Structures are given as C-alpha cells and as structure tokens.
Amino acid sequence: MTQIFSPAADTWLRLFLVTSLALTAGGAVMIVGVARSDYVTSVDFRPSQPVPFSHRHHAGELGIDCRYCHSSVENGPHAGLPPTKTCMTCHSQIWTNASMLAPVRESLAENKPIVWTRVARLPDYVFFRHDVHIAKGVGCETCHGRIDEMALTYRAKAFTMQFCLDCHRDPAPNLRPADVVTAMGWKPQGDARATGDSIIAHQNIRVGELTHCYVCHR
Ligand code: HEC
Ligand code: HEC
Ligand code: HEC
Ligand code: HEC
Ligand code: HEC
C-alpha cells in the first residue's frame, strides 16, 4: 500500500482537527459567556418592568415583610412572585387610578398574571432551594443584597459557583437567628462566628459535606 498522506500531512490533519474542535468549543464558550454576562452572573442586571415596582418603597419605607409577597420562600424551593390580588389588597384602595398601575388593573380584570422580567436566576444544571437556607439562618440580604434600597430591582450579587462555595465551606460567619432572616442591614451583636457556631450546633448543619458536587449538581 502506498501511503496517501505523508507523516507531515498527518500532523497537519491532526492540527486542523484539533484547531477546529478548539474553535467550536471556543464558540460555545463565547455563547455561554454572552448569555451569562447578561442574565446569569452579571451584577447590576436591571431590566425594565411592566410596572415600576419599588422594593425601596414597599419593603423599605412601608416596611412590608418579604414573606407577605414572596410567600413560598420558607416552604418550598421557590420564593414565588406575588399574584396580582396581593397588590390589590392595597391598590384597590390607594392609587386606584394611577396610570403606572394600569397593567396591574388589567392583569386583575383579564385574570392574567403580570409578566415580570427575572433578575436572579441560576443555570438549569444547578440545584437550589430557598426553604433550607431560610430554615438554617441564611438571610435574604446575604444573597440578594439591600433589596429594601432598590427603586428598581437589580441583581446585587453574582451567583457564581465560588459565591455558593465560599459559604458552604464555612457558613458560620454568615448565619443569623431565625427572627431576623428577612431583616435588612442586620449585623450580629458581638462575634459573628460565635453566633454562627451556635446556630450550626442547634440546626445540625452538616459542615464539611456541603461542598460535595452532588449537593448542587444532581
Ligand atoms: C401593603 C400595601 C401595599 C401593597 C400590598 C402593594 N402596594 Fe404598591 N404602594 C403602596 C403605597 C402605600 C404606595 C405609595 C403611595 C404614595 O406614594 O403615597 C404604593 C405605591 C406603588 C406604586 C407607585 C410608585 C411608588 O413606588 O411610589 C406602584 C407602581 C406600586 N405601588 C405597585 C405595586 C405592585 C405591583 C404591588 C404588588 C406586587 C404593590 N404595589 C403592592 C402600598 C402597597
Ligand atoms: C409588596 C410586595 C413585595 C414585597 C414586600 C417584597 N417584594 Fe420582592 N418582588 C416583588 C415583585 C412584584 C417582584 C417582581 C418585580 C421586580 O423584580 O421588582 C419582586 C422581585 C424580587 C426579587 C427578584 C427576583 C427575580 O429573579 O427577578 C428578589 C430577589 C426579591 N423580590 C426579594 C425580596 C426581598 C428580600 C424582600 C424583603 C426585603 C422583598 N422582595 C419584598 C414584590 C415584593
Ligand atoms: C443562599 C442564597 C439565597 C437566599 C438566602 C435567598 N435567596 Fe432568593 N434566590 C437565590 C437564588 C440562587 C435564586 C435563583 C434561583 C433559580 O434560578 O432557581 C433566587 C431567586 C429568588 C426569587 C425569584 C423567584 C423565585 O421564585 O425564586 C425571589 C423572589 C427571591 N429569591 C426572594 C428571596 C427572599 C424573599 C429571600 C429571604 C426570605 C431569599 N430570596 C433568600 C438565592 C437566595
Ligand atoms: C451564606 C451561606 C450560604 C450561601 C451563600 C449559599 N448556601 Fe446553600 N446552604 C447553606 C446552608 C447553611 C445550608 C444548610 C446545610 C444543612 O442543613 O446542613 C445550605 C444548603 C444547601 C443545599 C442543600 C439543600 C438540601 O436539599 O438539603 C443546596 C442544594 C444549596 N445549599 C445550594 C446552594 C447554591 C446553589 C448556592 C449559590 C447560589 C448556595 N447554596 C449559597 C448556606 C449557604
Ligand atoms: C454550593 C453549590 C455548588 C457546589 C457544591 C458545586 N457547584 Fe458547580 N456550580 C455551582 C453554580 C452556582 C454554578 C453556576 C456558575 C455560573 O453560572 O457562573 C456552577 C457551575 C459549575 C460548572 C460549569 C462551569 C463553570 O465553572 O461555570 C461546572 C463544570 C461545575 N459547576 C462543576 C462542579 C464540581 C465538579 C463540583 C464539585 C467539586 C461542584 N461544581 C460543586 C454551584 C456549585
């Protein structure tokens, strides 16, 4: 048999294959990179919303507790966004004609939920649930920042793997008592680690097991 390709040609062929593979992978990385920079990890992502809902006004100034509107945060994986009737408990009495609230009235009349643009989201391959975190003393503020100061909701923290792992490796300094889990601007009195260590003991938190891949990727 005559050799069709010289050894040098073979090398070129390999190089070609390797380069095109690398380029394809590079393309995928770029697409993922773009998708992420806007949606998944970027801090300060601040979309416009159908209604200019203000947490500063409702959670900050009026002092409405997070759980009034995000009512499944303690009992399930998702915090949930409030149904229109929750807004209407107040807005059927106040600001009833404001044009800003027209989409809220329409949503009620037509029985169609308001479609909010999400700011805090993880890729599908990451497993997460709210209830466990709330029950074990991780405050909303630790992951979502000072929501009570946001006129329009934006993403305050990047949900990178590092962000999750930093706490999972050593949760103690980031834990708080159950009664202040939705409080904003809360600081531990005295030593944060001592407070956290007692919560860890009391809540049986499995320190040391929380960095295993299957905790978040299942
Ligand atoms: C517990 C009562 C209460 C609930 C529930 C409530 N609001 Fe309000 N909202 C208010 C009050 C009070 C004002 C302020 C009126 C003023 O400025 O004096 C207001 C003002 C607003 C404004 C005007 C802009 C601003 O922030 O000043 C918008 C828009 C609004 N609310 C949207 C909503 C939406 C959407 C919901 C449901 C997700 C909702 N509200 C739920 C009490 C409430
Ligand atoms: C009066 C109702 C109300 C209260 C009280 C409230 N929220 Fe919200 N929240 C909303 C609505 C409506 C949205 C969707 C619109 C938006 O993003 O601003 C939302 C969106 C969010 C989001 C963004 C979710 C996403 O992926 O887009 C976070 C995070 C959040 N709220 C956290 C909190 C925290 C923490 C508190 C308590 C400090 C709180 N909220 C109190 C009504 C409320
Ligand atoms: C340990 C971090 C962490 C804590 C603590 C936390 N969140 Fe979240 N939150 C997230 C992540 C991550 C997402 C995105 C989840 C997804 O895309 O599956 C999210 C999403 C949300 C959403 C979007 C809608 C939904 O149903 O998930 C709301 C609203 C919200 N959080 C409110 C809250 C409130 C209110 C608290 C406190 C009572 C809270 N979060 C505590 C990390 C956290
Ligand atoms: C500030 C601390 C903190 C941060 C940030 C945090 N976690 Fe956690 N996480 C905890 C604690 C505490 C537990 C409870 C562990 C236990 O019960 O032993 C937990 C438990 C979990 C569990 C186990 C739930 C179950 O089924 O028992 C998952 C999954 C999880 N976290 C995912 C995440 C992801 C994903 C992120 C990042 C978006 C994240 N966590 C960020 C502290 C944190
Ligand atoms: C506490 C939660 C948590 C644990 C534990 C965890 N991951 Fe992740 N992982 C995440 C989150 C959140 C992302 C998404 C990051 C993003 O979107 O930037 C991620 C992304 C990834 C990715 C996608 C590429 C990247 O880096 O963004 C890979 C691969 C991965 N994880 C592998 C692992 C392996 C292997 C382990 C065990 C050694 C592990 N993860 C443990 C939360 C976790």
The better pLDDT of the pair 1, 193 is held by 193
Distances (CA, A) of 77 to 54, 66, 128, 169: 24, 16, 7, 22
Report d(CA 100, CA 135) in Å as an integer. Answer: 36
For residue 120 and ligand 5, the question of a CB distance below 6 A is answered with no
Q: Which residue has the tokens 């929380």?
A: 210
For residue 87 and ligand 5, the question of a CB distance below 6 A is answered with no
Taking residue 198's Cβ as centre, other Cβ atoms within 10 Å add up to 13
Distances (CA, A) of 78 to 61, 63, 87, 128, 209: 25, 22, 19, 9, 23
Distance from Cα 127 to the centre of ligand 1, integer Å: 33
Distance from Cα 161 to the centre of ligand 5, integer Å: 5
pLDDT at 23: 43
User: Which pLDDT band, with edges at 50, 70 and 90, does 26 fall under?
Assistant: very low
Check whether 116 has a pLDDT greater than 70: yes
pLDDT > 70 fraction of the chain, expressed in percent and rounded: 81
Q: What would the pLDDT profile of 165-181 be if each residue is shown by its tens digit?
A: 999 999 999 999 999 99
Residue 152: which of 39, 49, 5 has the closest Cα? 49
Q: Which amino acid is at 93?
A: Q
The better pLDDT of the pair 210, 3 is held by 210
Torsion of CA 156, 159, 160, 162, to 10 degrees: 90
**Which structure tokens are listed for 35?**
């998708």
